[in-house]
Structures are given as C-alpha cells and as structure tokens.
C-alpha cells in the first residue's frame, strides 16, 4: 500500500466517523443550536467524502448549497425565534420514539442488505477528474433536462409560497376567526420620527 | 500563445531527485513549501494593508498617523499584532466557551483556504484545481456560520444582532457575486483561475475583462466590499448601533483572528478582482512583445525569471490599487441603513447581474471572437 492509498483510507475513516457521530448528535442533543451547528459539520464531512471520490464540483456544490445556504438559514431561523418556551408534554412520547427508532433501524437494515447483495464492480469506472464539471453540465442539458426543469419549477413554487406566507397583508383578515391579521412592518423606511405638531 | 513559464515545483522535485530522493518523497517535501509561502504572503499583505489603512485614514482626516514605530510608522501593525498577542484572553462567564472559541477559527480558515486558487503566474499558485473560482465561492459561504456562532456564543444582544446581520448580508450579496463570476466564467469557458487570466492576456490591457464586463466589474466590487464588511456596508459591526457587533465580547488573540480574517479577505477580494477583470499577472502590453524588443528569446531562463517577477509585481500592484480604493471608500462614505443594504442587494444588484449574465450569453453567441466562443 503506497502513501496515497493509506492517506485515503485514514481520511475516509475520519470523515465517516464524523458523519455518523455528528448525525447522531444532531438527533440526540437537547440544545437545538448545537444540533444545527453539528448539522453544518456533518454536511462538511459529506463534502469531504465527495472530495475523496474525486467529485470536486459536487463537493463544492454541497458546501455552497447545504452549508452556505440551508444550514445558515436553519441557524438564522433558530436564532430569530430564540425564545425559551415550556412545551406541552406530548402524550405517548415513549411509543413514538420507539416507533420512529424502529423505522430508522429498518431502513438501515435494508440499506446494509442492498450493500451486501449488490455485486459492486471493482475497481470502479475510471474517474474523469477535472472534466467532471463539463460532463455534469452536458447531462443536465440533455438526458436529465426534464428532472432539472421540474426541480426548478418546484423551487419557484416554494419561493412564491414563501413570499405569500411572509406577506400577510395579502390576507388582511384571518380566514377562520375573521380577526385582523395584517402585520405592519416593524422598520419603516421613510416615516418621520418627530410628529409634526403644527397642524 | 501559452508559455510554460516558471515551474518551480518541477525544478524543485528534479533537484531533489538528482540528490537521490524518490519521486514521492520529493513531492511530499515540496507540498508544505507553497502553503507556507502563501500564508506568509497573506500575513505580510495584511500588515501592509493595516499600515495603509492607518496612513490613508490619517491623510483623509488631515492627521499624520503613526510615525514613531519605524520609518513612517511602518512597524505600527507589528506593534498592534504583538499587543493583541500578549493581551489577556477573556471568555465571558455566561458565554458558551466552546462555540466562543470555535467561531473566530471558522471565520479565518475558509479565507486562508481560498488563497489556494490565487495565481501569481502561469505556474505560481498552490493548486490549479479544476473548479477554481467556484471553490472560493463555496468556501466564502462557510464564513457566516462562524459569525453566527460567535454572535450566539457571546450571549449578548449586540453580538447576536451583529451575527444575524452579518449572515443576512453575506447571503444576500453572495448571489449577485456568483452571477457576476458566472458571466466571466462563461466567457473563458473554464472555472480555473489560470484559464481565466490566460484568456485575458491576448492583446495587453485592451483584452482585459473590464472592457467586456464593465457592469460585472462594478457588481463584483460592490459585492466583494459587502462580503468583507467594509465601510459603506459595515452594518454587522456598526459602532454607533451595535458597539462592535459580533466582536463585542472578544479580546486578545481571538479578536485578532477576526481582524486578520477581515483584512486577509479584503486583500483576497482585491486579488480576485484583479484576476477576474484586470488581467491577473498580465503586463499592460503583451510580454511577448517585450521579449522581441529586448532581443531576448522568450524561452531563455533570464527572460522567464524576468517575466515571472513582472507577473507577481503586476498582480500585487493591481490588487493594492484596489485596496487603496477600498480604503478611500471606507474613510469617505457614510454607512447605509439595513433596509437600504438589503434593497440594494435584492432589488438592484440581483436583477442587474441576471441581465448582465443574459447579455453576456447573447454577445457570446453573436460575437464569438470577442467574447470567447
């Protein structure tokens, strides 16, 4: 085994343990802020795994999208609503935990079975290295064009939905109760601070 | 014509192999050298920038500025750094110690890593990775996490507000920044910084990207200033409103990490503007013409050395002209309000950069000779 291969294995072991321990921490930690920061660490480690697989473009996209956008927005939302609140105790929490735990375990067993039974071609296909970016672009605009466009329509829908939800002044009354639901902007740009008393 | 230029790595490894080392050992011995060199260059760049900032701000306010530490106060930044190094490292009692320490580190590391792709010549960069400029965009998106982390961990409302503002600002300005870069990438058909510079150096300064992408240049410069939190956009640390934003509780070396990070980021942004728009290491007239005028063969070692040094000087010179502009802007413009900042980012720069991208694509199809077919 030469130096490059052994470094690769050491990196893989470190990154793999960061991913597994980090994601366990994301689920199990009580403090939601720690969970969010750990999630960022897990995303970074996944990007590192992509880098080990010679997929540098995918790794950079992973960092840009998941760490730079998704995780920052999660943190942003958590910190904007950083309110200590005593939550109502949920009935049957223990059963729910056991149920979701067993579903996750079942999925894990399924994945392990797939991993063992699939005949993986070894060694894999030759990596194309730096040309990967061009190849991804070609695929996105030829045989994967429809999924690509569908994903962009989905994102557009999500964006319009978010704008409608954020702009409550579209619905000035609550549909169910009939109360006024309009929200004034907290920061107005041009309202004078001193009230004109002459008139 | 693309010249091989200086290849220090090849020469170094060949020299070691001639001493009887194996190829792998020679490569491993080579690896840390460029990293150390670039780290040193970045730190010296920061020291020079801090001195320039002090001197130019003094000139703008009709003061003298630092003058006792060394000639013209040139050792003042060293004294500042030494002071920060020996200061007490204070962690507030109610703060979250671990995140408080991790925050500044997370801010500094991506900035230093981005120096990986800054070329000073055909082969004078740490690594010519294929994703090049995209790596910088991806890395700079990690920074807001560090800012949010230090803002949260300080357990102080000013810090938290500063951290939130920093994150909002850098998310908003990243999109026009990436679109401006995309237009340049479209013209040079490559993400690699080397290819981007080579594509600009056909006819001296006339072929620089600034003539083909004037709008993109302005968008990129505004967004780069906003990403560095320099003065028209330094809301995250607005002294009059937020004490010092996310840095409020920091002292000693941890504060120095933020300080270093922001100045390294400024120098890096200036270098990237010069690479993307001002021809990188290119001399205003093609360097091949110089070789014919001097009567020296282009591939002779002496001329290669001369061309390499001119390349480094040109890159640094262009970058420092931009740093000078940034410092002048800082000391002569007022700060924008947060709503003006977000309006500028989302309602002005984003549409303009989209239009710029579309126009560039159309021009590339219409005039493939001038816009890199």
pLDDT tens across the length of chain B (373 residues): 344 556 677 777 778 778 777 777 777 777 788 788 888 888 888 889 999 998 898 888 888 888 887 788 788 888 888 888 888 888 888 878 788 888 899 889 999 888 888 888 777 777 777 788 888 999 888 888 888 888 888 888 888 888 888 888 888 888 899 999 999 888 888 888 888 888 888 777 788 888 888 899 999 999 999 888 887 888 777 777 777 778 888 888 888 888 888 899 999 999 999 988 888 888 887 777 777 777 777 777 777 778 888 888 888 899 999 999 999 988 888 888 888 888 888 889 999 999 999 999 998 888 887 777 5
Residue A117, pLDDT above cutoff 80 = yes
For B337, phi then psi, to 5°, come to: -80, 165
Q: Which residues contact A28 (CB under 8 A, 6 or more apart)?
A: none
User: Quick check: A187 and B160 CB within 8 A?
Assistant: no
Q: What is the 3-state secondary structure (H, E, C) of B239-275?
A: HHHHCCHHHCCCCHHHHHHHHHHHHHHHHHHHHHHHH
Which chain A residues are Cβ-neighbours of B157 within 8 angstroms?
A: none
Q: Determine contact, residues B229/B165, Cβ cutoff 8 Å.
A: no
A87-96, A150-159, B53-62, B336-345: least confidently modelled range:
A87-96
* pTM, 2 dp: 0.83
Q: Which residue has the higher pLDDT, A186 or B244?
A: B244
- Is A169 an 8 Å CB contact of chain B? no
C-beta neighbour count of A19 within 10 angstroms: 18
Residue in the structure block whose two tokens are 């120095």: B256
Check residue A108 and give its pLDDT: 92
User: Quick check: B130 and A132 CB within 8 A?
Assistant: yes
For B127, phi then psi, to 5°, come to: -150, 125
- Within 328-347 of B, beta carbons closer than 8 Å to A belong to 337-339
User: Quick check: B141 and A132 CB within 8 A?
Assistant: no
Rounded CA separation B161/B143 (Å) = 16
Mutation for testing the B interface, residue in A33, A64, A83 having most B CBs under 10 Å: A64
User: Quick check: B164 and A57 CB within 8 A?
Assistant: no
User: Quick check: A37 and B145 CB within 8 A?
Assistant: yes
Percent of chain A exceeding pLDDT 90 equals 27
Check residue B32 and give its pLDDT: 81
User: Quick check: B138 and A33 CB within 8 A?
Assistant: no
Residue A184, pLDDT above cutoff 60 = no
Q: Which residue has the higher pLDDT, A50 or B301?
A: A50
User: Quick check: A72 and B167 CB within 8 A?
Assistant: yes
Beta bridge partners of A173: A180
- Is A1 an 8 Å CB contact of chain B? no
Q: How far is B53 from chain A (nearest CA, A)?
A: 30
Chain Cα centroid distance, residue A121: 31
- Specify burial of residue B369 (Cβ count, 10 A radius: 0-12, 13-18, 19+): exposed
Using CB atoms, pick whichever of A33, A37, A64 lies closest to residue B138.
Answer: A64
Using CB atoms, pick whichever of B99, B131, B171 lies closest to residue A72.
Answer: B171
Over residues A22-39, the pLDDT tens digits come to 998 998 888 888 888 999
Quote the crossing angle between the two packed helices A72-80 and B143-153, to the nearest 10°.
20
Q: Determine contact, residues B96/B152, Cβ cutoff 8 Å.
A: yes
- Specify burial of residue B181 (Cβ count, 10 A radius: 0-12, 13-18, 19+): buried
- Identify the three-state secondary structure at position A51: helix
Q: What angle do CA B80, B85, B88 make, to 5 degrees?
A: 115
Quote the crossing angle between the two packed helices B157-188 and A72-80, to the nearest 10°.
160
- Specify burial of residue A56 (Cβ count, 10 A radius: 0-12, 13-18, 19+): buried
Over residues A8-24, the pLDDT tens digits come to 889 899 999 999 999 98
Assembly ipTM:
0.81
Using CB atoms, pick whichever of A2, A33, A56 lies closest to residue B129.
Answer: A56
Tokens describing residue A79: 């910190």
Tokens describing residue A156: 């557009």
Using CB atoms, pick whichever of A44, A64, A189 lies closest to residue B339.
Answer: A189
Which chain B residues are Cβ-neighbours of A64 within 8 angstroms?
A: 134, 137-138, 141
Which chain A residues are Cβ-neighbours of B338 within 8 angstroms?
A: 187
Which chain B residues are Cβ-neighbours of A60 within 8 angstroms?
A: 131, 134-135, 137-138
Which chain A residues are Cβ-neighbours of B174 within 8 angstroms?
A: 68
Rounded CA separation B181/B193 (Å) = 11
User: What are the start-end ranges of the E strands in B59-105?
Assistant: none
User: Quick check: B130 and A130 CB within 8 A?
Assistant: yes
Percent of chain A exceeding pLDDT 70 equals 80
Which chain B residues are Cβ-neighbours of A68 within 8 angstroms?
A: 138, 141-142, 144, 171, 174
Rounded CA separation B186/B353 (Å) = 14
Rounded CA separation B149/A34 (Å) = 10
User: Quick check: A67 and B141 CB within 8 A?
Assistant: yes
Q: Determine contact, residues B102/B149, Cβ cutoff 8 Å.
A: yes
Over residues B27-42, the pLDDT tens digits come to 777 778 878 888 888 8
């Amino acid at each position: 085994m030469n130096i490059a291969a052994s470094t690769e294995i050491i990196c893989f072991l470190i990154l793999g343990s960061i991913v597994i321990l980090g994601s366990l921490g994301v689920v199990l930690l009580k403090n939601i802020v720690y969970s969010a920061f750990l999630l960022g660490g897990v995303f970074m480690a996944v990007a590192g795994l992509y880098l080990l697989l010679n997929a540098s473009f995918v790794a950079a996209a992973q960092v840009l999208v998941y760490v730079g956008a998704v995780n920052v927005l999660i943190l942003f939302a958590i910190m904007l609503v950083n309110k200590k609140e005593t939550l109502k105790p949920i009935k049957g929490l223990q059963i729910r935990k056991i149920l979701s735990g067993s579903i996750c375990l079942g999925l894990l067993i399924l994945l392990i079975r797939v991993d063992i039974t699939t005949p993986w071609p070894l060694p894999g296909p030759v990596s194309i290295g730096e040309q990967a970016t061009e190849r991804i672009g070609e695929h996105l605009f030829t045989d994967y064009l429809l999924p690509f466009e569908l994903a962009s329509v989905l994102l557009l829908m999500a964006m319009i939905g978010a704008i409608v939800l954020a702009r409550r002044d579209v619905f000035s009354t609550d549909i169910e109760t009939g109360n006024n639901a309009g929200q004034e902007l907290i920061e107005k740009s041009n309202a004078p601070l001193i009230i004109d008393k002459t008139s | 014509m693309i010249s091989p230029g200086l290849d220090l790595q090849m020469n170094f490894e060949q020299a070691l192999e001639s001493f009887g080392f194996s190829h792998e050992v020679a490569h491993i011995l080579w690896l840390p050298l460029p990293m150390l060199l670039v780290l040193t260059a970045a730190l010296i760049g920061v020291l020079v920038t801090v001195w320039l900032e002090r001197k130019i701000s003094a000139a703008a306010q009709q003061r003298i500025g630092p003058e006792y530490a060394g000639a013209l106060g040139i050792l003042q930044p060293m004294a500042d750094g030494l002071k920060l190094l020996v200061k007490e490292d204070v962690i507030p009692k109610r703060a979250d110690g671990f995140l408080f320490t991790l925050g500044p580190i997370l801010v500094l590391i991506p900035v230093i890593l981005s120096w990986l792709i800054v070329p000073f010549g055909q082969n004078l960069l740490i690594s010519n990775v294929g994703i090049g400029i995209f790596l910088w965009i991806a890395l700079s998106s990690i920074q807001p996490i560090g800012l949010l982390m230090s803002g949260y961990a300080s357990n102080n409302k000013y810090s938290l507000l500063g951290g939130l503002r920093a994150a909002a600002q850098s998310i908003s300005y990243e999109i026009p920044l990436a679109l401006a870069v995309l237009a340049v990438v479209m013209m040079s058909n490559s993400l690699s910084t080397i290819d981007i510079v080579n594509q600009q150096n056909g006819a001296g300064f006339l072929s620089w990207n600034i003539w083909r992408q004037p709008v993109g240049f302005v968008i990129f410069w505004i967004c780069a200033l906003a990403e560095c939190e320099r003065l028209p956009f330094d809301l995250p640390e607005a002294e009059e409103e937020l004490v010092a934003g996310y840095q409020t509780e920091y002292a000693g070396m941890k504060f120095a990490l933020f300080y270093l990070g922001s100045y390294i980021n400024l120098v890096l942004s200036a270098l990237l503007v010069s690479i993307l728009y001002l021809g990188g290491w290119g001399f205003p007239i093609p360097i091949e013409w110089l070789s014919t005028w001097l009567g020296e063969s282009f591939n002779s070692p002496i001329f290669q050395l001369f061309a390499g040094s001119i390349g480094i000087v040109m890159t640094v010179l262009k970058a420092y002209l931009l740093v000078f502009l940034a410092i002048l802007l800082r000391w002569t413009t007022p700060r924008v309000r947060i709503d003006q900042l977000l309006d500028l980012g989302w309602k002005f720069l984003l549409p303009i950069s989209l239009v710029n991208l579309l126009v560039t694509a159309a021009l590339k199809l219409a005039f493939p000779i001038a816009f890199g077919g």
